[in-house]
Structure 1
């Protein structure tokens, strides 16, 4: 992988991190994202001051609030909103409701969103947030209370022109509807109608967009169609497996099989299944609903984690969450291409191992970017009061994803580096040019 040398007008990432007091071995996703971003910054010889600006979040908001539970008692919850950078436009990023969440992980996701929007040339910055809770053990009323109190707690830190949250883990369209309604109710009447643009991922009836719910999958397919010829592969007949069959994994699996690809393996947290003849995504979804796991699905054989990863498929989809690709799993991988559907499933060790083994890794900064393109279209629709048809929506996503894919390809050719570094470099060049033109105040 190409790196900046001593003659380049930049410091190596270790000295930048030391200046910012960021430990490379620190917990969570943030320090690893900083290292990866600075590595790409070295490749393009980005000036030191811009590297330091981009490495640190602009705002870190922490809120604590009570929620009335069904038993009549109040319980305290903690919420976050990390606003990383807004050089390109309003902050944009997901909000999640999950039991395992840290400020560091959200900081890494906010930085990743900044790079994603820059790669796509969207007029958004990067942000991430959420509430530490477990929606699975909350009643509908309790979850609504958590969402509404979180919305009211951060309302003065967000807005349609400042920070636009979107859905992430534990946040479906109903959650986004509650959030949007809360923001509207605490807004003066004269400005209330404009508040429908304060979040994306809403139900269509209250300002959502046709196709936004499957934008991750459609965006991935458009990217894959454009890049598969580089690997001498075609979409029809492509054999793939899925690690994590949740919302994103199942969505992408359905769209891939509809395009003629063949799903031969699925892994969840209780084990995996394989079938040379192919596995229907709907059959897996039904088995998960009725049984809670994959075991016993007709026409498949149960396998352990190692056997699943060693299966020699064309494409392995990582859709099970952040940092799940361990050193050991990277050693097992039998796929020729790995695609990151989850936000940041890699670790520093796994990245190096897969690169050394010659396995192509398509980074999450592009693979799941269809969602933020869809959010941009929904936000634009809300601001202009013009509705997109499903066909128009898909066409816009296709154009944005293909152009971003080609920017990544060009950067890979120019810098002779891996796909992740290429994608980050293409994003950072755009951000660097913006800072060059704007300057740094004062």
Structure 2
């Protein structure tokens, strides 16, 4: 008998792939995309599934399943994160890899799109077990990743330490003379292992910047505006940090442990300190009261930042939303039916491939520094990030106005047209 939890996970993963395909087809129809190029972009280039054994702390062996899907590399090497989560499977990886292709294209980066990860709950494993799992996964991927081929980065439940383990394992498989040439096989590394200043906050800062650009265009003052955040990991924290500095007020947060609310405001740094001390859980935070999680999206607020997993805003809860802006810190947090409801209600949505693209832009800067033997200072990285995101944001807004479409459609149009141009100019082999 299939449990309700398993059914929910299957619907979530199937829905993500269905959503990205519907988004793609909608944009492709609107620009009358070349049918031959459409066939190419509908499919992934490569899909890798690996099963690998790892010895646990108790001496027993557990077999894990890992995935890496490479969607398209017409514009450059594959680029995309690795996540450790129970919902990771081939369909989830396909959907996320496609979104990465559109995201890198929209940002004007010399990258394609990929995604992957391991199907597990990292909270069930010790630090040393996670290291062995990561190193064994890297070894299993072998030459399917590389600094000029496919460059992983952190994602859900992975971080700079994860990337350092991947880097060290990958470099150990290369001859000594080639090891220094492979520092850019992953991005999002610790500073001491070749990482870039500012990469840790790049995604959240990008989410904040797109909200700020939107507010400036709409002549909205962010001071005293209430915002709520789903997911208080790296993206959720840094987005909240910068919004709080701008004068906005965090009133509610939701993560896997539960939902908390304080209408007078939640201190972002106090919540981070509590979360860090409680295994990345916000449950029980003294500065707010607990709330039924089903009430989260219907709370009174101005801005919602979904920064957790996909398909969180659905037709069921979209009707309850009172905010006038949704900034998608996560990939695919709003399903197609929900978006139709929200747009009819006059709610603006900053789409994921624009809103959270600060992460891959920051990764590109790290990759460039490693490749060229350079070290950039934090203020230089943040300034370059802001400039790049501003260009993307206003290009999306201009396209939306010219074509009379919503922001997501405009973002997809820009991304797909850049890929179409590449294929038209290069031709199709043979």
1:146 and 2:133 equivalent?
yes
| Matched length | 418
1:218 and 2:205 equivalent?
yes
- 2:168 is aligned to 181
Cα offset for 1:37? 0.7
Q: Is the 8 A contact 1:340 1:363 kept in 2?
A: yes
Cα distance in 2 for partners of 1:95, 1:204 equals 19
Q: How does 1:222-261 map to 2 (within 5 A)?
A: 222-261=209-248
Q: 2:344 aligns with which of 356, 373, 376?
A: 356
Task: Decide which moves more: 106-115 or 95-104.
Answer: 95-104
- 1:8 is aligned to none
Cα distance in 1 for partners of 2:311, 2:236 equals 16
Task: Decide which moves more: 51-60 or 240-249.
Answer: 240-249
Cα offset for 1:422? 1.0
- 1:17 is aligned to none
Cα offset for 1:301? 4.3
- The SS at the match of 1:430 is helix
Q: Is the 8 A contact 2:200 2:234 kept in 1?
A: no
Q: How does 1:92-107 map to 2 (within 5 A)?
A: 92-107=79-94
1:166 and 2:153 equivalent?
yes
- The SS at the match of 1:94 is strand
Q: Is the 8 A contact 1:211 1:394 kept in 2?
A: yes
Task: Decide which moves more: 346-355 or 274-283.
Answer: 274-283
Q: Is the 8 A contact 2:13 2:92 kept in 1?
A: no
Q: 1:62 aligns with which of 46, 49, 60?
A: 49
Distance of aligned partners of 1:373 and 1:302 in 2 relative to their CA distance in 1, 3 Å threshold: same
Q: Is the 8 A contact 1:284 1:294 kept in 2?
A: no
1:287-338 CA deviation, whole Å, 9 max, x = no partner?
Answer: 445564444634x444334543223322111112111112221111110111
- 2:255 is aligned to 268
Q: 1:313 aligns with which of 301, 326, 330?
A: 301
1:297 and 2:273 equivalent?
no
Cα distance in 1 for partners of 2:94, 2:274 equals 36
- 1:155 is aligned to 142
Cα distance in 1 for partners of 2:122, 2:51 equals 17
Cα distance in 1 for partners of 2:85, 2:125 equals 11
Cα distance in 2 for partners of 1:163, 1:414 equals 35
Q: 1:82 aligns with which of 53, 65, 69?
A: 69
Q: 2:384 aligns with which of 384, 390, 396?
A: 396
**What is the TM-score of this pair, normalised by structure 1?**
0.90
- The SS at the match of 1:27 is helix
Cα offset for 1:430? 1.1
Task: Decide which moves more: 372-381 or 46-55.
Answer: 46-55
Structure 2 residue runs without a partner (length 5+): 1-10
Cα distance in 2 for partners of 1:242, 1:206 equals 31
Cα distance in 2 for partners of 1:236, 1:302 equals 26
Q: 1:53 aligns with which of 40, 46, 49?
A: 40
- 1:373 is aligned to 361
Distance of aligned partners of 1:293 and 1:207 in 2 relative to their CA distance in 1, 3 Å threshold: closer
Cα offset for 1:124? 0.3
Task: Decide which moves more: 153-162 or 217-226.
Answer: 217-226
- 1:15 is aligned to none
1:337 and 2:321 equivalent?
no
Q: Is the 8 A contact 1:284 1:297 kept in 2?
A: no
Task: Decide which moves more: 25-34 or 50-59.
Answer: 25-34
Cα distance in 2 for partners of 1:281, 1:50 equals 46
Cα distance in 1 for partners of 2:276, 2:73 equals 41
Q: Is the 8 A contact 1:339 1:367 kept in 2?
A: yes
Cα offset for 1:421? 0.9
- 2:188 is aligned to 201
- 1:387 is aligned to 375
1:25-76 CA deviation, whole Å, 9 max, x = no partner?
Answer: 9924223211111111111121111111111100001111111112222221
- The SS at the match of 2:260 is strand
Q: 2:31 aligns with which of 30, 40, 44?
A: 44
Cα distance in 2 for partners of 1:89, 1:411 equals 24
Cα offset for 1:429? 1.3
Q: Is the 8 A contact 1:90 1:164 kept in 2?
A: yes
Cα distance in 2 for partners of 1:271, 1:61 equals 34
1:427 and 2:415 equivalent?
yes
Cα distance in 2 for partners of 1:28, 1:75 equals 30
- 1:11 is aligned to none
Task: Decide which moves more: 55-64 or 342-351.
Answer: 342-351
1:152-180 CA deviation, whole Å, 9 max, x = no partner?
Answer: 11121111111101111121111111100
1:326 and 2:302 equivalent?
no
Cα distance in 1 for partners of 2:67, 2:289 equals 42
Cα offset for 1:136? 1.1
Distance of aligned partners of 1:296 and 1:181 in 2 relative to their CA distance in 1, 3 Å threshold: closer
Distance of aligned partners of 1:71 and 1:296 in 2 relative to their CA distance in 1, 3 Å threshold: closer
1:235-263 CA deviation, whole Å, 9 max, x = no partner?
Answer: 33332111222221122111110122111
